[in-house]
Every structure is written in C-alpha cells, then in structure tokens.
Amino acid sequence: MRYELILLAALLGFLALCLLAHQAYLVRVKARLGRSADIHFNMSQLKDSLRLPQGSNFITIMLVSWNLFFVAVVFLYLLTPQVFAQWNYFRLPAVASWELGLLLLGVCVLVLATLINLYLPRIYGYYVISRQTKSLMSRVAPLLLTTSILSSSYLGTIYPGSDELAWRLGYVSLAGALVLLMLPVILSYLGRSK
C-alpha cells in the first residue's frame, strides 16, 4: 500500500475522531444536565439552547476554509495519477487539456463540498472559542489550505514529472489546516475549553 493512502486514512480518521468527540461532548452535556436538573429533553432542544453566536465573519471564514479543505484533498489526491491511477483528473483529457480545467474541477468539488459544509461549521456554535483561537483559525487555516492547493496545482502542471517535496508540503499544510479547523473540539476534549 502506498504511504499516501495511509496518510489519507490518517486524515479521514482524525476527522472522524473529532466528529465523534464532538458528538460525545453533546451526549456528555445532555447527561450532566439530565442528572442535575432532572429535566427530560431531546438532543435538538439541547443543541438549540447550547448554541453560542461566534460571529458571522468567523463562521464565513470557516465555511470558506472547509470548502478549501475539500478542494485541497481532491487536488492533492486526485489531480495526478500518482496515488489513484484509475481515479484522477488526467482520465478526463478534454478537461485536463482545457485552460480552465483546474477551475472546473475546483468548482465541481466546491458544489459537492457545500452540501457537506452545511453541517461542519455549525459545530463551532457549541464551544466557547477565544478571540486568539478564532484569530489563529481564521488567519492560518486558509493560508495552509491555499498552500496545499498551490502545491497540488504545481504537481498537476509538472505531470508526468513529480516532486516529492511539493506533495509532502501539500499534505502537511492540509493536515495542519485540519487540526486548526477542529481546534475547538480538540481543546474541549483536552479540557481547555469551558
């Protein structure tokens, strides 16, 4: 198995663990409130009462960042046949040879990612996020994701050549951005968020 697939599994596994930790957080809060107040309520009522406004600018930047995240994953893994020989951008020669082909690929991914992203930025509403954390997330995550996309685009333009450093830079940038995007969940899990 190629190490790139192991790294992809690590990314997806980390994302899944963070989403499970978020769900466990909600279940834990519901259980604590149920014990202390002896009130019965369902999860949707809990979510409504727990929601904290995070600011429209922050949520917009996070929505854009999640869209960039999915574009970066597709560009890194599906732009060249280096990882997936049967599933890649160059299997569509009409699109790959068109000067706007990369743009078309990115727009297609954005449309699909928007459906997923209707859920992901909502998780921020359940955590107290400090200004410093918001600033770090909103400034650095888009920068890292742009770095990953540019590295992947470079790999696509030099294909059939390859550049291992560019691929690794794209992956490390992508992984770092994912950690930042999930930072409120991570901090809550580690007990640093109230």
pLDDT in tens, 170-194: 999 999 999 999 999 999 888 854 4
Amino acid at 38: D
Residue 141: CB atoms within 10 Å? 25
Residue 97 DSSP class: T
List alpha helices for the chain, DSSP H.
Answer: 3-37, 43-50, 56-78, 93-96, 101-117, 131-158, 164-181, 183-189
Q: For residue range 81-135, what is the model confidence (pLDDT) as tens digits?
A: 777 878 877 877 777 778 888 788 888 888 888 888 877 778 888 888 999 999 9
Closest CA to 158 of 169, 148, 168, 167: 167
46 near 33, Cβ under 8 Å? yes
pTM of structure: 0.86
Q: For residue range 50-62, what is the model confidence (pLDDT) as tens digits?
A: 777 888 899 999 9
Question: DSSP 3-state assignment of 28?
Answer: helix
120 near 67, Cβ under 8 Å? no
Q: Which two tokens stand for residue 175?
A: 């992984």
Amino acid at 116: I
* Cα–chain center distance at 31: 29
Mean pLDDT, rounded, of the chain? 86
List alpha helices for 159-192, DSSP H.
Answer: 164-181, 183-189
Report how far residue 133's alpha carbon sits from residue 130's, in angstroms, rounded to the nearest whole number.
5
Report how far residue 146's alpha carbon sits from residue 140's, in angstroms, rounded to the nearest whole number.
10
